[in-house]
């Protein structure tokens, strides 16, 4: 991607990769603690999503 993108001409970015759902482990524990630390009044999460990004492409300008 180029630096200095003009926001009114930017079309977006496409990310390609794989996602993994986990209901236990480090990523899940970090998510639970982050939510508790913020005091967000929501039900506890069932899963954490870890995304491995393999490719990033600009959708185009202009």
Residue 39 DSSP label: T
Beta strands in 1-62 (DSSP E): 13-22, 48-58
Q: How many residues does the chain have?
A: 62
pTM: 0.61
For 2-55, how does the pLDDT look when each residue is reduced to its tens digit (9 = 90+)? 556 677 777 888 999 999 999 999 999 999 999 999 988 889 899 999 999 999
Return d(Cα 21, Cα 39) in angstroms, integer: 23
pLDDT confidence of residue 1: 47
Q: Among positive and negative, which fits the CA dihedral 25, 27, 31, 34? A: positive
Closest CA to 16 of 54, 51, 49: 54
């Amino acid at each position: 991607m180029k630096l200095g993108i003009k926001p009114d001409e930017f079309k977006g970015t496409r990310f390609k990769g794989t996602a993994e759902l986990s209901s236990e482990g480090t990523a899940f524990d970090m998510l639970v603690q982050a939510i508790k630390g913020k005091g967000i009044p929501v039900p506890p999460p069932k899963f954490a999503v870890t995304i491995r990004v393999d490719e990033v492409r600009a959708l185009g300008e202009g």
